[in-house]
């Protein structure tokens, strides 16, 4: 099957030998790490609470000869695993947090395992497991060939809002790193120079004075009024921000009863833009909307900083490495049963799917703007980073959906995970074999950075919001 697949792909000058060896090592561990991904899928855990998932990955890496440091950067589920010495130092990042409310069986119809419980709607069970699988194969290859260099796996908790990677940056864990190779589950096998959206957000809390809403409204000051004036001002603001801006919010508390003037109201708001620095300016205007709400309603407003992720700086050199790697890695084909599952799932999407199938590998130099946000973006501002997606989800299925959660528990998810592990392993080996590529990646990083510096509104006090997902 492999040979036939390779013929479908664009032909590249692929020296056989070394590449085949590391791919054989990936294949040797594929079943075990596929089972690891399934185990994590079966026990979905929210950000900073990924105790079982992190422990399982730590145990697997330790058993395969990695030196593991658990609980890094004041995060119980953050860890590093390392093998080798000297440069190049290559980091593979592993996420493993789930999303609230997305509990889902591995079936092509919406059916929760436990209603309201978390689920792996972003496929992070595959993300962390594929990176670990690649790490083990790379370690064995370095060892067998006596190559110089260090392979590390960073277990990065709470990508869905907690920003584990940002605390790892603050803790200095990326300081001696030459390159980060990252991936994310998706609905196609694709490498390009895509970015992500910067985001910034938090909770806006208004404090007023409670009073009987009919008998003594004049003595009350409504926190909900303050909040609604703020949000109306935000709606007007929408017209006067750059086109690519996204602003979304929910009201988490609007008072307790209509006959009581609300003494407390709260909204959770997130804004996004392709450029962190432009976003900072927009966010200051949102802060002014909130201040205006408090002033007009005679209430007091407090802001609690929430998620703040930078956009991703693409890296031309590393993306080229990953592009070559993915072309060698190849895509995969569905079995008849998988094809049937995919068809049923696509029928639930309510739109015709015009996407390439998982047998295709797409490598190009386009720079599509981001549609989501990730703390991998912050990492790209401090060290050369490139990333790619693989077809872990059926074409047309987007992340953060029950359809994605279903795919992440099936053989389709695990086949996509294998494409990722193969790509990561081949990409890393190319850099160990040609250490000059690490220097070229550093130069490409400097060019994109263009003298700017990474900044974050998340304080460098080393105190991750360990309860953010459950409060
Ligand atoms: Zn994700």
pLDDT in tens, 29-61: 999 999 999 999 999 999 999 999 999 999 999
Residue 196 Cα, ligand 1 centroid: separation in angstroms? 12
Compute the Cα dihedral for 22, 27, 31, 35 and give only its sign. positive
Give tens-digit pLDDT for 168-220: 999 999 999 999 999 999 999 999 999 999 999 999 999 999 999 999 999 99
Residue 160 Cα, ligand 1 centroid: separation in angstroms? 7
Is pLDDT at 362 greater than 50 in this prediction? yes
Residue 184 Cα, ligand 1 centroid: separation in angstroms? 7
pLDDT of residue 287: 98
Q: Please enumerate in sequence order all residues whose Cβ is within 8 A of that of 303, keeping only pairs 6 or more positions apart, or say none.
A: 202, 203, 204, 205, 287, 290
**Mean pLDDT value of segment 381-408:** 97
Q: What percentage of residues in the chain have a pLDDT greater than 70?
A: 96
Compute the Cα dihedral for 18, 20, 21, 27 and give only its sign. positive
The three-state secondary structure class of 246 is: strand
pLDDT of residue 460: 83
Residue 451 Cα, ligand 1 centroid: separation in angstroms? 29
Read off the pLDDT band of 355 (50, 70, 90).
Answer: confident
Residue 363 Cα, ligand 1 centroid: separation in angstroms? 21
- Averaged confidence pLDDT in the chain: 95
pLDDT of residue 17: 60
Q: If you search the block for the tokens 């079995």, which residue do you land on?
A: 335
Residue 134 Cα, ligand 1 centroid: separation in angstroms? 19
Is 251 buried (19+), middle (13-18) or exposed (0-12) by CB count in 10 A?
middle
The rounded distance, in Å, linking the Cα atoms of 264 and 320 is: 53
Residue 124 Cα, ligand 1 centroid: separation in angstroms? 6
Q: Please enumerate in sequence order all residues whose Cβ is within 8 A of that of 429, keeping only pairs 6 or more positions apart, or say none.
A: 18, 19, 22, 138, 141
Residue 99 Cα, ligand 1 centroid: separation in angstroms? 9
Residue 186 Cα, ligand 1 centroid: separation in angstroms? 9
Q: Return phi, psi of residue 86, to 5°.
A: 75, -175
Residue 401 Cα, ligand 1 centroid: separation in angstroms? 11
**Mean pLDDT value of segment 285-314:** 97
The rounded distance, in Å, linking the Cα atoms of 414 and 33 is: 9
Look up residue 143 and give its two tokens: 């060892």
Q: Please enumerate in sequence order all residues whose Cβ is within 8 A of that of 357, keeping only pairs 6 or more positions apart, or say none.
A: 331, 334, 391, 395
On whether the CB atoms of residues 384 and 318 are closer than 8 A, the answer is yes
pLDDT of residue 354: 84
Residue 311 Cα, ligand 1 centroid: separation in angstroms? 15
Give tens-digit pLDDT for 224-265: 999 999 999 999 999 999 999 999 999 999 999 999 999 999
Q: Of 243, 158, 197, 194, nearest to 372 (Cα)? A: 197
**Mean pLDDT value of segment 143-162:** 96
pLDDT of residue 6: 40
Is pLDDT at 76 greater than 80 in this prediction? yes
Residue 128 Cα, ligand 1 centroid: separation in angstroms? 11
Residue 129 Cα, ligand 1 centroid: separation in angstroms? 14
pTM of the model: 0.92
In Å, how far are 129, 318, 426 from 382, measured between CA atoms?
A: 25, 15, 24
Residue 299 Cα, ligand 1 centroid: separation in angstroms? 38
Question: What is the SS3 string spanning 344-376?
Answer: HHHHCCCCCCCCCCCCCEEECCCCCCCCCCCCH
Strands (E), 86-137: 89-94
Residue 112 Cα, ligand 1 centroid: separation in angstroms? 20
Ion ligand 1: residues, CB within 5 A, are 122
Residue 230 Cα, ligand 1 centroid: separation in angstroms? 30
Residue 207 Cα, ligand 1 centroid: separation in angstroms? 35
């Amino acid at each position: 099957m492999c040979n036939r697949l390779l013929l479908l792909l664009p032909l590249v000058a692929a020296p056989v030998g070394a590449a085949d060896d590391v791919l054989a090592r990936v294949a040797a561990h594929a079943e075990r790490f596929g089972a690891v991904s399934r185990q994590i899928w079966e026990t979905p855990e929210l950000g900073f609470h990924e105790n079982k998932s992190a422990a399982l990955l730590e145990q697997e890496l330790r058993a395969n000869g990695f030196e593991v440091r658990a609980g890094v950067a004041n995060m119980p589920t953050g860890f590093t695993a390392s093998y080798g010495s000297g440069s190049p130092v290559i980091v593979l990042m592993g996420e493993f947090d789930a999303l609230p409310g997305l509990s889902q069986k591995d079936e092509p119809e919406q059916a929760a395992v436990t209603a309201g419980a978390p689920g792996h709607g972003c496929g992070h069970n595959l993300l962390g497991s594929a990176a670990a699988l690649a790490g083990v194969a790379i370690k064995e290859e370095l060892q067998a060939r006596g190559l110089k260099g260090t392979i590390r796996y960073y277990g990065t908790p709470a990508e869905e809002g907690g920003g584990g990677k940002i605390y790892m940056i603050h803790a200095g864990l990326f300081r001696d790193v030459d390159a980060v190779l990252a991936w994310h589950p998706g609905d196609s096998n694709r490498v390009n120079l895509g970015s992500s959206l910067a985001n910034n957000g938090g909770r806006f809390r208004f404090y007023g004075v409670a009073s009987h809403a009919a008998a003594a409204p004049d003595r009350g000051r409504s926190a909900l009024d303050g909040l609604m004036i703020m949000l109306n001002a935000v709606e007007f603001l929408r017209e006067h921000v750059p086109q690519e801006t996204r602003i979304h919010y929910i009201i988490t508390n609007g008072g307790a009863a209509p006959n009581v003037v609300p003494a407390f109201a709260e909204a959770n708001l997130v804004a996004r833009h392709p450029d962190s620095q432009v976003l900072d300016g927009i966010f200051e205007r949102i802060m002014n909307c909130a201040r205006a709400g408090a002033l007009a309603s005679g209430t007091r407003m407090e802001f609690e900083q929430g998620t703040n992720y930078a956009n991703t700086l693409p890296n031309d050199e590393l993306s080229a490495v990953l592009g070559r790697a993915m072309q060698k890695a190849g895509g995969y084909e569905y079995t008849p049963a998988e094809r049937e599952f995919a068809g049923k799932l696509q029928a639930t999407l309510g739109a015709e799917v015009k996407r390439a199938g998982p047998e295709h590998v797409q490598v190009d130099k386009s720079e599509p703007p981001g549609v989501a946000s990730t703390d991998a973006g912050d990492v790209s501002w401090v060290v050369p980073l490139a990333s790619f997606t693989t077809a872990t989800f059926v074409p047309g299925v987007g992340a953060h959906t029950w359809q994605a959660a279903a795919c992440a528990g099936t053989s389709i998810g695990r086949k996509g995970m294998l494409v990722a592990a193969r790509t990561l392993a081949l990409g890393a080996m190319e850099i160990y074999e040609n250490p000059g590529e690490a220097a070229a990646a550093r130069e490409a990083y400097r060019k994109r950075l263009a003298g700017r510096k990474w900044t974050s509104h998340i304080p460098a006090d080393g105190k991750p919001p360990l309860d953010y997902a459950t409060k």
